[in-house]
Amino acid sequence: MESVDAIVVGAGHNGLVAANMLADAGWDVLVLEATAEPGGAVRSGHVTAPGYLSDLFSSFYPLGYASPVLRRLDLPIRWTHAPDVFTHLLPDGRAATVSRDLDRTMASMERFAPGDGERWKHAYEDWQAVSGRILDAMLSPFPPVRSGLGLLGRVGVAGALRLGRRLVLSARQLGSELFAGEGGPLALAGCALHTDLSPEEAGSGVFGWLLAMLGQEVGWPVPVGGAQQITSALVERLESRGGRIAYETPVSRVLIARGRAVGVRSAGGGDYRARRAVVADVPAPAFYLDLVGSRWLPPRLVEDLAHFRWDGSTVKVDWAVAGKMPWGNPDASGAGTVHLGGDMDGLSRYAAHLAVGEMPPHPFLLLGQMTTADPSHSPDGTESVWAYSHLPHRESWSAGEIDEHVARMEAVVDEHAPGFGDLVVGRHVFSPADLQRENPSLVGGAVGGGTSAAFQQLFLRPIPGLGRADTPIDRLFLASSSAHPGGGVHGAPGSNAARAALARDRALTGGAYRAVISAANRAIYRSAP
């Protein structure tokens, strides 16, 4: 049986971040990946037409660029930007544009209501005063004591109270408090819909604010050469430190002895021994129920898992476009990302359809103009484009339902870019089932590793508990986006898991660390009286 210090299950970016950090500490690390490729939802490929590169899943990386976790790994990635960050197109053709050039954003917001340019500037100044501390608090292990105290020191008790209120506001409410016109609120609500949060949902305001303001501050950059560059950099860094990756090796079981993770079994029957830790970059339900198994878990944890909620299913379409996008409003031409398909009420209606389990008749789309962001994506004068849109979370959709939804998506694009359909020379569709086939962690096409709703955040993610990577099984850690702080390419769940594994392993303090975690878990998962 092969024996290493740590086994990492899954070569998504979180698994690779964890593997790199453990290798940095001198550990012998083996990553077992179910598919033939590393990267999980951070990959690129040629799927539409020759010469057109597509980012198969994620493609814009404001969180990755700003993440202290990825910065510490010092990856040799060359970042580039579209001229504008994003544009929200309204049904009447108007555009709300966010650009790294503050004056340009202000001018766009001002067109919606006199004074909204200045209001945007104030909102941005508020963000800038706390952005570093918020990112540190968000992307470090829970509870973020040091960064939380730093934030409190910066804003004071009065500011902390208002910040606390902002954390639970809906995007509609926050937008209406910050702006007089429609542009600013739509910028926030469109950004909130990068998660599964509707404009009415508690917490959608802060997600919208975070993504929009990060866009203002650092843009939504992409790696030159596509998403794959992030994965390749992580893989090369790991291999240069002696770490290894075995592909087409799905893990079916965590091996446990006397309450401690001691290795894993692959679906092919191979056993691998882990001397110090097993770190899993897999979704929480598969991790606990399939890989660990309920007999090793406190019954109360298994009950809590029954309430774990996925985010919506996703349909993603990539197009090879033999020209520039024929936008009706030229303001969208320079944007890396375009939000399409609704004013505020339209976004709420779209979200309401998803909430009641119906196909949205007029979908909201996130659309990426990848050649505008990075010219290496397709020949000069052409565009490599993708768009994705959500469906209610379901594991199976008929081919007819998917075709219908793709037709609706294309109709929305055509409404805003008349003649788009005539320019398409290649198309590739990922249905929810296709997404899951390419990456078994994208269960039902859910892109976030579980809902971003407030009831599944912080110490409630993935289930009520410590909000940490530690589990009730000694030396077993959860490193995927199902763990705090959730989806997005920022590496924090991977980093949190590696830090927990290293803390558990420390010669002098590891035992005490384990005792505290065990006692806390016993209290949290004690059976209901």
Ligand X SMILES: Cc1cc2nc3c(=O)[nH]c(=O)nc-3n(C[C@H](O)[C@H](O)[C@H](O)COP(=O)(O)OP(=O)(O)OC[C@H]3O[C@@H](n4cnc5c(N)ncnc54)[C@H](O)[C@@H]3O)c2cc1C
Binding site for ligand X (CB under 6 A): 9-15, 32-35, 40-42, 57-61, 63-64, 250-251, 281-282, 314, 316, 388, 439-442, 447, 449, 480-481, 487-489, 493
Sign of CA dihedral 270, 476, 17, 309: positive
- Rounded to an integer, what distance in angstroms lies between the CA atom of residue 366 and that of residue 431? 16
Query: What is the nearest approach in angstroms of ligand X to the Cβ of residue 374?
Result: 13
8 A C-beta contact, residue 79 and residue 70: no
- Give 108 or 441: the residue with its C-beta nearer to ligand X: 441
Assigned token pair, 160:
């902390």
Query: What is the nearest approach in angstroms of ligand X to the Cβ of residue 157?
Result: 33
- Give 41 or 213: the residue with its C-beta nearer to ligand X: 41
Residue 87, SS3 per DSSP: strand
- Give 14 or 333: the residue with its C-beta nearer to ligand X: 14
- Give 15 or 465: the residue with its C-beta nearer to ligand X: 15
8 A C-beta contact, residue 31 and residue 250: no
- Rounded to an integer, what distance in angstroms lies between the CA atom of residue 178 and that of residue 167? 14
- Burial class (CB within 10 angstroms; exposed 0-12, middle 13-18, buried 19+) of 1: exposed
- Give 465 or 494: the residue with its C-beta nearer to ligand X: 494
Query: What is the nearest approach in angstroms of ligand X to the Cβ of residue 351?
Result: 18
Query: What is the nearest approach in angstroms of ligand X to the Cβ of residue 119?
Result: 27
Query: What is the nearest approach in angstroms of ligand X to the Cβ of residue 173?
Result: 25
3-state secondary structure 420-441: HHHHEEEEEEECHHHHHHHCCC
Task: Pinpoint the alpha helices (H) of 79-203.
Answer: 102-110, 116-139, 145-168, 171-178, 183-192
Say which residues have a Cβ less than 8 Å from residue 459's Cβ, sequence separation at least 6: 142, 143, 465, 466, 467, 484
8 A C-beta contact, residue 444 and residue 339: no
Query: What is the nearest approach in angstroms of ligand X to the Cβ of residue 395?
Result: 15
- Rounded to an integer, what distance in angstroms lies between the CA atom of residue 68 and that of residue 58? 19
- Give 226 or 472: the residue with its C-beta nearer to ligand X: 226
N residues, the chain: 529
- Give 370 or 502: the residue with its C-beta nearer to ligand X: 370
- Give 95 or 251: the residue with its C-beta nearer to ligand X: 251
Query: What is the nearest approach in angstroms of ligand X to the Cβ of residue 94?
Result: 25
- Rounded to an integer, what distance in angstroms lies between the CA atom of residue 442 and that of residue 39? 13
Say which residues have a Cβ less than 8 Å from residue 70's Cβ, sequence separation at least 6: 17, 64, 490, 491
- Give 34 or 178: the residue with its C-beta nearer to ligand X: 34
8 A C-beta contact, residue 448 and residue 249: no
Query: What is the nearest approach in angstroms of ligand X to the Cβ of residue 431?
Result: 12
Query: What is the nearest approach in angstroms of ligand X to the Cβ of residue 322?
Result: 24
